[in-house]
Structure 1
Amino acid sequence: MGVNGKYSIGILLTFVLLAAAMLYSFPIITLITGIRGITADSFFISRIIIWIVLIIIFLYNMIIEKGPFLLKKETSYSTLFYGKAVLSLYFICIIGGAVLNAIILFFVPEKISDKLLNLVPVFKNNYFLIMVTCLTAAIVEEFLMRGYIQPRIEKIYNNPTLGIIISAVLFGILHSTYGTIGQVLGPFFIGIVFALFYKRYSNIKILIICHFMIDFISLMALNFIDIKHLSVF
C-alpha cells in the first residue's frame, strides 16, 4: 500500500473512531458500568475514551505509516507572538461565532441543545471535570483534526484548500451530537480559522492553547449564566 493509501485509511479511522466515541460512548459506559445518563463520572470516562482514540491513531502512525505524526514541522515563535496569536484567534472565533449564531437564530429559531442542558448540572462547580474536558478537547482535537488530518488531505490531493475545508467540515460534523445547526456551523467556522492559521504558521501549540481558552471560558460561564441564555453557546 502506498503512502497516500495509508494516509486515507488513517483519516477514515480517525473520523470513525472520534464519531463513535462521541455518539456511542455513553451507551457503552452505561452497559459496562451501569451509570445511566450523563453524569460527572460517565462524562469523565467518555473523555478517557477520546484519549484512547488519540493513542490508537498515534500507534497507527507509528506502526503503519512509519513517519512523523505531524507532517508539518513545528515553527517556533516568540512569547509575544504566542500571546498575540492566541488572543487574536480567540476574539476572531468568539466574535465570528456569535455573529454566525445570531444569523442562524434569525433564520432558523432553534431551541437550546438538550445535551447542553444536561451538561449544565454536570459542570456546575466541578472545576476538575472542566479542566479535564478542556484539555481533552484542546489536545486531542487539535492533534487529530489540524495536526493529523489536515496535512494528510493536503498531501493526498496536493491541494491546501481541500485540507482546510475538509478538516473543518469533519470538525463541524463531529459536533453534530449536540443536535443543533449552530453547534455544527460554529465549530465549522472555528475549524476554518484554525486550519488557515495552521497552514500559515505551522504551530499546533498555539491552537491547543486557544482551543483550551475558548472551551474553558465557555464552561466556566456555565457556573454563572442563566439557563435561558445558553443559546449563546
Structure 2
Amino acid sequence: MKAQQIEPFFAVLRAANPQPASELEYSNVFELLAAVLLSAQATDAGVNKATRRLFAVANTPARMHALGVERITGHIQSIGLFRNKARNLHETSRILVEQHGGEVPRTREALEALPGVGRKTANVVLNVAFGEPTMAVDTHIFRVGNRTGLAPGKNPLEVEMKLLERVPPAYRVDAHHWLILHGRYVCLARRPLCEECAVAAFCDSRPLFQGNPPREREALAGR
C-alpha cells in the first residue's frame, strides 16, 4: 500500500464505523483485562458466554481471588486452555490486590508483569481502557497488515511497529479496532470477501483475489 493511500483507507473504515469498539463484554477495567486474558485462542463470543457467568459472581480483583482457582475454572471451562487461564486470572487478581490496590495499572511494564498478560493483552487494555494509541496485533491484524501491504511484517511485533509508523495520528486510537473487524468479517483468511470490501481499491492483494472463483481465491489466500 502506497503512503498516499493510507489516509483514504482509514477514512473509508471510519466512515463505515465512526465509533468502533471491542466485541468483548465488560463493565469495568478489570473485567476488560480478565476478558482479554481469557480470549487467547478463543472467540470473543465464546469468552462473552463464559464471562457473563463469571462476572456475575466476581467482577473485581478481590472477588476473583476469593473465588479461587477451582470455581474460576468451573465458570470458564467452555473456552480453550481454561485451566491455565484460571490459574493466571487468579494469580493476576492476587497481584492486583496486593501490589496495585485492586486497580488495573496503566503502564505496559506493570501490565506485562501480570500472569497471562503479554504484549497484545497489554495493548488492548492500554487502548480500550486508557485511550492509548496502541496496536494489539492478533491474527486478523497480522493478516490484514500483510495482505493489504499496510504494515508488512514477519511477526506481530514487526507489524505493530510498522502500524505505529504508518497509521496517521488521527486514526491511531481506533485503528486496531477497524483492522480487527475488517479481518474478522471481510478480509477472511481462506475466502476474503473482496467483492464486499470497501477498501479493496487500496489493497496490494486486490489483483490476486478479485475476479478469481472461490476455490482459486482460497488457494491464493493460503500463500
Q: TM-score, normalised by structure 1?
A: 0.26
Higher helix share: 1
Higher relative contact order (CA 8 A, sep 6+): 1
- TM value normalised by structure 2: 0.27
